Homo-oligomer: A and B are copies of this chain.
Amino acid sequence: MSSITPLIGPESGLISDSKPAALAALESLLSIRSFEEAVDALFARGLMHGTMHLSIGQEASATGVCAALTSTDYITSTHRGHGHCIAKGADITRMMAELLAKQTGYCRGRGGSMHIADAATGNLGANGIVAGGIPIAAGAALAQKMQGKKEVIVSFFGDGATNEGAFHEALNLSAIWDLPVVFVCEDNKYGMSNSTEKSMRVEKISERAAAYGIEGVTVDGNDVDAVFAATRTAVAKARTGGGPTLVEAETYRWKGHSKSDKNLYRSKEEIDEWKAKDPIERFQNLCLTKNIITQAEIDELTARVREVTRGAIKDAMAAPDSNPDELLSGVFKAVS
């Protein structure tokens, strides 16, 4: 087992005001970055199969959002889901094992990067279908409400996903039924090569909330505190019967959409501009300025996280390959 320290969102104030919260958040940020960089390297070396969608540059939204959730709250995730998965508390070794097509992976090697789920931490699954998880989140939220539970569902999705009919239908259902769900749009400015300026006429994606009579807010998605605070408000509202909120976190992906991307649709300057807004450096500097964490602690954490990633790769690589013999029995759950 190698999960991050559970994220602790303070009940009032910001993450950067609380040492344990800040340390946990930093661990999450660093773990996501480290995991993604390791995956990138493994792919580059031909050790990984399939495709991948890295969230380098977007670590603050996964971290800030999950800090506002309890361990029994749920998320639905996306093709760019490693960050969500880690922030929600998944075992990094089992994630790595999945990507390496191992039997010990979250999906026994059947799903790969785009389908990792973790029932234990409430991650209902990444999704290879853009916007595919949004109606599912609405349904999971409906179940909480009908069962009288207090759990909230966060549905992560990208800017591009908001152009799909699934987004529209799911937000409308959630709105009319006051469901305990928070819609988190990670607006990284592009759906593959298509910029938000070209693919929609609204300035802010949060304006789309108006069509459902719900609240929409836009936050700086590279600011852990801002993401956390907006999500905390939305989660509290959802948990107490106030219905859904659309939270837009403005951020940027540093890497190409997937391996085949030549970045022809955006400029090097734009990428560099956003790299200068690195959410991790920024959070570290904030915590240093506020004297909440020391440089030594940062160094120690950075080293420890790297060690965890290395260990995860090692353990995952040593695990048995996924087993073709159980394929046919894996399709249906046995009727009891």
- A163-180 vs B, CB cutoff 8 Å, 1 = contact: the mask equals 111111100100110000
Residues of B contacting A199 with CB < 8 Å? Answer: 172, 176
A200-251 contacts to B, CB under 8 A, are 200-203, 207-208, 210-214
Tell whether A333 is near chain B: CB-to-CB under 8 Å.
Answer: no
CA distance A183 to B289 in the complex (A): 54
Tell whether A45 is near chain B: CB-to-CB under 8 Å.
Answer: no
Tell whether A268 is near chain B: CB-to-CB under 8 Å.
Answer: no
Contact partner of A198 (CB less than 8 A), chosen from B176, B203, B214, is B176
A111-164 contacts to B, CB under 8 A, are 163-164
Contact A176:B164 (CB < 8 A) given known A207-B210, A208-B211, A211-B207 = no
A248 nearest CB across to chain B (Å): 13
Contact A169:B176 (CB < 8 A) given known A210-B210, A211-B210, A213-B201 = no
CA distance A208 to B211 in the complex (A): 4
Which residues of A approach B to under 8 Å, CB–CB? 163-169, 172, 175-176, 198-203, 207-208, 210-214
Q: Nearest 3 CB-CB pairs, A to B? A: A165-B165, A201-B213, A168-B168
